[in-house]
Amino acid sequence: MLFEHHVLTSTQIVDIAFPSRRAANLRLRDLYQWGVLHRFQPHRTRGSHPMHYVLDTAGAVALAHETGLPPRNSATTANARSDAPTRCSSATPSAATACSPT
């Protein structure tokens, strides 16, 4: 799923693949802790966005092994992309050092 769509929200993943939100959250947490998925939550001034999930390094390697395709260049993984989501200390960071990759 994530390989084809690149990013999915937790709500979309629940609707597609799980019988309940709790089951999805438990599995997604495990996959995140194992490095299979990378997650981030976009900033919103009011309320919150759902968690967003992308394939992480271990997930890309496992997928490549399963499909027989070479893993994508490490520059396209969630941790190394220049367009990877960042966590900022404020809504409008004053310097690039205020943000760090999630």
pLDDT in tens, 39-66: 999 888 888 889 999 988 888 888 888 8
Residue ranges of the chain with pLDDT lower than 70? 1-2, 72-102
Helix, strand, coil tally for the chain in percent (to 5): 40, 15, 45
Residue type, 47: G
Q: pLDDT at position 52, please?
A: 92
- Per domain, the residue ranges of the chain are 2-101
**Is the pTM above the cut of 0.75?**
no
> What pLDDT, on the 0 to 100 scale, is given for residue 40?
92
CATH topology of domain 2-101: Arc Repressor Mutant, subunit A (1.10.10)
pLDDT, position 34: 93
Secondary structure element (H or E) that encloses residue 9, with its range = strand 8-9
The single residue listed with the structure tokens 């999915």 is 8
Distance, in Å, from the CA atom of 55 to the CA atom of 49, rounded to the nearest integer, reads 19
Lay out the sheet containing 8-9: strands in order across: 8-9, 52-55, 37-40
| Beta strand spans in 11-74 (E) | 37-40, 52-55
